[in-house]
Chain A
């Protein structure tokens, strides 16, 4: 099972092409509000995470996720199930 920081690093790597203004990616960064990733792109990012970790991330989980840190926690929880 990947560690918290490995998941964070993976998310940072996958976020890079969507982070068009090249803003620093912190755990506290709002994915849509700070990094300005639009909602469609967020879903595309999630699909890449699903395939990388071979998990299913329901849309209902994504709607509760606002920050990078919350996304790390959500992925960790789904991997633990």
Chain B
């Protein structure tokens, strides 16, 4: 007998429906025996963009992707509160029904204007943005080319799209894309859509967008760039890596999220294409989910205004990223990329990385534990994201804990092994 209401949980094959997750369960069980579960932890309080609390321990937040630190910005908070007072707590409807308010339209217009694109569409989350736009763009005859280190939402975008062929090319390698575009025959009426990211979220490395744009132009391929981790942070005006590399006008589709530098929840995609607005009538993740709450939209609008008017935020995050990167590099950590707001240190294996992650948290520093298959090259990483709200003293405090981590490496490993043995 099977089913939740039954007395037994075995199906017709004699296996529980969760039996396929047994290897994952065993792996998660090892990590959870080491202390706090890194993938299911709760802060007792968050007091600001760089401070949280667990029990009576204050924690420096260094893994929140809160790049500009605007989640506690007075303008963003007031805009969100005012939106709740005027429009309530949620829209209860999708963008194609009752869920499009004046504020959604204004934010779309302002993002489009900021990026110098004629059109922009706002979505409920960043994840949904790529799912929606990619699946709306690629039809059965089209071929999607994705970078080997693509984020899960890009991979899932290819799964939702009706295209029959998706090809992966080597990470950040325009020559490899060139080769694969040459190799791939397109059906009559089919197009190539190349999807890359500006700043890659795990290693913190940057795409050569201008070179990719040149390859795309030569092959007549469309270029789609996800600047989730770089919008607001890079470029003189905060328009991301494409602005920094002087090729924003060559990006056909530009996506981003509100949940990083825009200090809210939501996402957007902007385009030069004159027919882009048609996608509103075909993108299922746009049409069949509730639109972003007014408070989220208005907080993002206020953060956008800050991106436009406060270049000092970008100057500060760059200075803090350089400080942290140089300090870790000097200590001999194996860092995955040159300095950027994402700084990842490779660790020898998942168990050691998890032990070190727990130790850092106990010492008052929250970073991200990143493990395969969510990481490139099957790496186990201690991943840090720097914020413009971090002070020089904050970064020094983070560095001192990493120094202590190095100095106490053997003791941390021995303690971790003892915990694992005690739990068995």
Q: Is B218 an interface residue when CB atoms closer than 8 A count as contact? A: no
- How near does chain B come to A20, taking the closest CB pair, in angstroms? 9
Shortest distance in angstroms between A1's beta carbon and chain B's nearest beta carbon? Answer: 17
Q: Which residue of B lies closest to A81 (CB)?
A: B185
Q: Mark B302-346, 1 if CB is under 8 A from A, else 0.
A: 000000000000000000000000000000000000000000000
The reply to whether B183 and A56 form a contact with Cβ atoms under 8 Å apart is yes
Cα A65 to Cα B168 with chains together (Å)? 16
> What is the total number of residues of chain B having a CB less than 8 Å from a CB of chain A?
18
Q: How far is the CA of A43 from the CA of B155 in the complex (A)?
A: 12
Q: Which residues of A contact B (CB under 8 A)?
A: 38-41, 43-44, 46-47, 50, 54-56, 58-60
B358 lies within 8 A of chain A by Cβ: no
**Beta-carbon contact of A60 and B166 below 8 Å:** yes
B376 within 8 A of A: yes
Which residues of B sit under 8 angstroms from A38, Cβ to Cβ?
A: 372-373, 378
A60 contacts B168, C-beta separation under 8 Å = no
The answer, yes or no, to whether B119 is at the interface (CB within 8 Å) is no
Given contacts A47-B170, A54-B183, A59-B158, contact A40 B165 (CB under 8 A): no
A21–B66 alpha-carbon span in the complex (Å):
39
Query: In chain B between 266 and 319, which residues have their CB closer than 8 angstroms to a CB of chain A?
Result: none
Q: Are A43 and B183 in contact (CB under 8 A)?
A: no
Interface SS of chain B? mixed
B167 adjacent to A55 (CB under 8 Å): no
Near A by CB (< 8 A), chain B positions 148-206 give 148, 158, 164-170, 180, 183-184
Q: In the complex, which residues of chain B have a beta carbon less than 8 angstroms from the beta carbon of A41? A: 372, 378
A58 to B184, CA, bound (A): 10
The contact string, 1 if C-beta is below 8 Å from chain A, for chain B 26-53, is 0000000000000000000000000000
B20 — nearest CB in chain A belongs to which residue?
Answer: A33
B373→A56 contact, CB < 8 A: no
How near does chain B come to A13, taking the closest CB pair, in angstroms?
Answer: 19
Which chain B positions have C-beta within 8 A of A43?
148, 168
Considering the chains assembled together, what is the distance between the CA atoms of A19 and B188 in angstroms? 41
Given A40-B378, A41-B378, also A58-B167 (CB < 8 A): yes
- Whether the pair B164, A58 counts as a contact (CB closer than 8 A) is yes
Task: Tell me the smallest distance from the CB of B381 to a CB of chain A, in Å.
Answer: 13
- On whether the beta carbons of A59 and B166 are closer than 8 Å, the reply is yes
In the bound complex, CA of A43 to CA of B165 (Å): 15
Q: How far is the CA of A5 from the CA of B168 in the complex (A)?
A: 26
B148:A47 contact, CB within 8 angstroms: yes
Identity of the chain B residue whose Cβ is nearest the Cβ of A40 in the assembled complex: B373
Please, could you name 15 A-B residue pairs with CB atoms under 8 Å apart, sorted by A? A38-B372, A38-B373, A40-B372, A40-B376, A44-B148, A46-B168, A47-B148, A47-B168, A55-B183, A56-B165, A56-B183, A56-B184, A58-B164, A58-B167, A59-B168
